[in-house]
Amino acid sequence: MGPAGFPAGVSPPTRSQTEAEQAKRAEQESSDSQLRSANEFIGYYIEATDGDIGHVEEFIIDDESWAIRYMVVDTRNWWPGKKVVVAPQWIERASWSDSRLYMNVSRNKIEQAPEYDANMLLSREYETSLYRHYGRAPYWD
C-alpha cells in the first residue's frame, strides 16, 4: 500500500481535485433539483408562514399554455377543512428531503380561501376572487 492507504503507484487526490469534484457534485445536485416531475409533489406537505396547513392533492393546468396555474391543497388533515388552491408562484422554497413546500402565505389566508370544487370549471371570476383574497396580483395582468 502507498501513502494514506492508496494502492502502490496511486497517489491520494490533491486538495484541488477533491474541491473540484465536490463543486461538480454540488452543481449536478443543484441542476437536478430544478428538474422535478410535478407528480413528485403530490402528497408534499404545505407549510404556511406560520405552520402546517395541508398537502398537495393535485394540480390545475392551463389547457392552452400548459402552465401549472394552481396546486390543490387538501386541508382536511389539519382541521375540518376543505380543498383550496394556491399558486405555485407563492412557493418560497421546497425541501425535497422533508417532502415539504414552504409557502409565502399564512395559515389563516389558506383556511379562509374560497373553496375549490373539482366539478366546476375555474372561471375568471373565481380566479379574481382568489387573487383578491390572497392579496396578490393576478397572473393575467
Quick one: pLDDT at residue 37?
77
Q: What is the largest CA-CA distance in the chain?
A: 74
Q: Indicate the pLDDT class of residue 14, thresholds 50, 70 and 90.
A: low
Fold entry, domain 38-134:
Photosynthetic Reaction Center; Chain H, domain 2 (3.90.50)
Query: 30 or 99: which carries more pLDDT confidence?
Result: 99
- Sequence spans of domains, the chain: 38-134
**Cβ contacts of 108 within 8 Å, gap of 6 or more:** 50
pTM for this entry: 0.70
The tens digit of pLDDT for each residue in 88-130 reads 999 999 998 899 999 999 999 998 998 999 998 889 999 999 9
